[in-house]
């Protein structure tokens, strides 16, 4: 057998030893490994031994999945393998952290099921490939730190500027229309900058997370806190929530999902032209019973179809004037008057929160309304 591959199996009927794919795997720079359903390591290449075993004094010849799973650093991998066995679907682990003495490493790991036809042992297994993304991860960490530092440095003079503007506003500038208008613009732009820094920090933090804490909560619990807050932000708006099949327990990070619907409902209240806004939220299971499907929409007009694919890009805004010429409702626009415009980051934050939950979101038009469709795993 090729020098770079070490293979073991308790069943001599295994087809892996003579499988022509083995020499190919030996040449890959990614770490490759596979476990038998009975817990034994079937094979691994030298890169896996070098990075995942030797630094932790593990020997591939005697490695058993039970021993492997008892090490805290490999908890995410063992959880992922268990999920593959349960669902027989591929699982991806992004940004897996491997602490080494010389340098911390980060890997994107893909786990796939191995069927009986591959092993030839009457049992199944799991194969994994770990791709080194350390440089990408470190760049992302550096970017997050940069955004945090810049935001912190700019918040201090911005707070000072806003304070002086509020002081000037208290000195009755209403006697001078020009001063009143100038102070109003200063305060409006200060608030916009504050919102922008807050959203940038939040988005950077979300992007830097590989794993979140989830717990079971009633879906309607998401709205207990944010409803009162939204009514304070939009005191002159008449709106109501209508739920379908929402008395269900979902596995989520409650705080992050509050932010999802805070952003969606806030957009509905900001930009709807209706005197009374009706927001409908429907929760259903998919046909296989492994995912929740969430359908969110309001009674506002649909967004122009050409904008839908780009709604979740950061800083993307629908052109206000052009949208109205098309008699379409702008979901993300630059506001006028005293209203503080959006930062263009709200829906991007929503998308990344869904991604943290191993879910996704998209927008589609149905019957003159735009529906925001979300999917999250039931587990």
Q: What is the mean pLDDT of residues 82-90?
A: 85
pLDDT of residue 377: 87
**Residue 218: Cβ within 10 Å count:** 14
pLDDT of residue 336: 35
Cα angle 73, 77, 81 (rounded to 5 degrees) comes to: 150
The residue written with tokens 């263009």 in the block is 344
pLDDT of residue 19: 62
Closest C-alpha among 213, 279, 221 to residue 248: 221
The residue written with tokens 């020098």 in the block is 3
Contact 264/296 with Cβ under 8 angstroms? yes
Domain 212-379 fold = Heat Shock Protein 90 (3.30.565)
Q: What is the mean pLDDT of residues 7-31?
A: 60
Closest C-alpha among 345, 356, 359 to residue 316: 345
Residue 199 to residue 345: CA distance in whole angstroms: 7
350 Cβ contact partners less than 8 Å away, ≥ 6 residues apart: 259, 260, 263, 264, 312, 361
Give the start-to-end residue ranges of the domains of the chain.
5-132, 135-208, 212-379
pLDDT of residue 302: 85
Share of the chain above pLDDT 70, in %: 81
Helices 134-169 and 177-208, axial angle in degrees (round to 10): 160
266 Cβ contact partners less than 8 Å away, ≥ 6 residues apart: 230, 233, 234, 346
HSE-CB at 1 with a 13 A cutoff on CA atoms is 16
Share of the chain above pLDDT 90, in %: 19
pLDDT of residue 345: 86
pLDDT of residue 4: 35
The CB-based long-range contact list for 114-121 (8 Å cut-off, 24+ gap) reads: 114/34, 118/15, 118/16, 118/19, 119/9, 119/11, 119/14, 119/15, 119/16, 119/36, 119/42, 120/13, 120/14, 120/15, 121/9, 121/11, 121/13, 121/14, 121/36
pLDDT band, residue 18 (cuts 50/70/90): low
pLDDT of residue 2: 38
- pLDDT tens for each residue of 235-245: 888 999 999 98
- pLDDT tens for each residue of 124-144: 889 899 999 988 888 877 877
Residue 276 to residue 294: CA distance in whole angstroms: 23
> Is there a shared CATH topology between the 5-132 domain and the 212-379 domain?
no
pLDDT band, residue 375 (cuts 50/70/90): very high
- pLDDT tens for each residue of 154-196: 777 888 888 878 877 777 656 677 777 888 888 888 888 888 8
Q: What is the mean pLDDT of the chain?
A: 79
**pLDDT at residue 62 above 70?**
no
pLDDT of residue 339: 53
Both structure tokens of 111: 């786990």
- pLDDT tens for each residue of 310-355: 889 888 877 543 343 333 333 333 333 445 566 788 899 999 999 9
For the chain, give the longest Cα–Cα distance: 94
Q: Give the DSSP H or E segment for 109.
A: strand 105-114
Q: What class is the 5-132 domain?
A: alpha beta
pLDDT of residue 280: 93
**pLDDT at residue 116 above 50?**
yes
The pTM score is 0.63
- pLDDT tens for each residue of 203-259: 888 877 777 888 999 999 999 889 888 988 888 889 999 999 888 899 999 999 999
Kindly report the backbone phi and psi dihedral angles of residue 19, in degrees, each rounded to the nearest multiple of 5, phi listed first. Answer: -75, 125
The residue written with tokens 């930009």 in the block is 271
Residue 323 to residue 304: CA distance in whole angstroms: 7
Which of residues 122 and 132 earns the better pLDDT score? 132
Say how far residue 176 (Cα) sits from the centre of its chain.
49
């Amino acid at each position: 057998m090729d020098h770079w591959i070490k293979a073991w199996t308790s069943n001599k009927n295994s087809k892996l030893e003579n499988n022509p794919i083995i020499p190919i795997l030996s040449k890959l720079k990614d770490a490759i490994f596979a476990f038998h359903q009975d817990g034994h390591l079937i094979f691994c290449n030298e890169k896996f031994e070098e990075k995942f075993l030797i630094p932790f004094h593990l020997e591939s010849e005697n490695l058993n999945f039970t021993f492997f799973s008892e090490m805290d650093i490999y908890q995410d991998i063992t959880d992922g393998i268990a999920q593959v066995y349960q669902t027989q679907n591929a699982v991806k682990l992004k940004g897996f952290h491997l602490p080494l003495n010389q340098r911390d490493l980060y890997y994107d790991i893909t786990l796939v099921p191995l069927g009986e036809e591959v092993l030839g042992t009457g049992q199944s297994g799991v194969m994994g490939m770990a791709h080194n993304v350390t440089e990408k991860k470190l760049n992302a960490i550096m970017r997050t730190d940069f955004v945090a530092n810049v935001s912190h440095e700019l918040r201090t003079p911005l707070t000072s500027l806003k304070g002086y503007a509020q002081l000037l506003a208290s000195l009755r500038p209403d006697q001078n229309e020009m001063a009143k208008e100038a102070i109003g613009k200063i305060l409006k732009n200060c608030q916009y900058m504050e919102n922008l820094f807050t959203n940038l920090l939040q988005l950077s933090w979300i992007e830097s997370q590989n794993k979140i804490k989830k717990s079971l909560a009633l879906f309607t619990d998401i709205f207990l806190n944010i409803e009162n807050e939204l009514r304070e932000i939009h005191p002159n708006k008449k709106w109501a929530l209508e739920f379908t099949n929402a008395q269900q327990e979902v596995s989520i990070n409650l705080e992050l999902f509050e932010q999802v619907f805070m952003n969606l409902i806030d957009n509905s209240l900001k930009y709807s032209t209706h005197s009374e806004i009706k927001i409908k939220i429907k929760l259903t299971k998919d046909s296989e019973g492994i995912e929740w499907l969430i359908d969110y929409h309001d009674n506002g007009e649909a967004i122009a179809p050409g904008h839908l694919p780009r709604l979740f890009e950061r800083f993307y805004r629908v052109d206000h004037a052009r949208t109205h010429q098309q008699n379409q409702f702008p979901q993300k626009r630059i506001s006028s008057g005293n209203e503080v415009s959006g930062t263009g980051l709200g829906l991007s934050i929503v998308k990344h929160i869904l991604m943290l939950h191993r879910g996704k979101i998209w927008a589609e038009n149905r019957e003159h309304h735009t529906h925001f469709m979300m999917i999250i795993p039931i587990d």
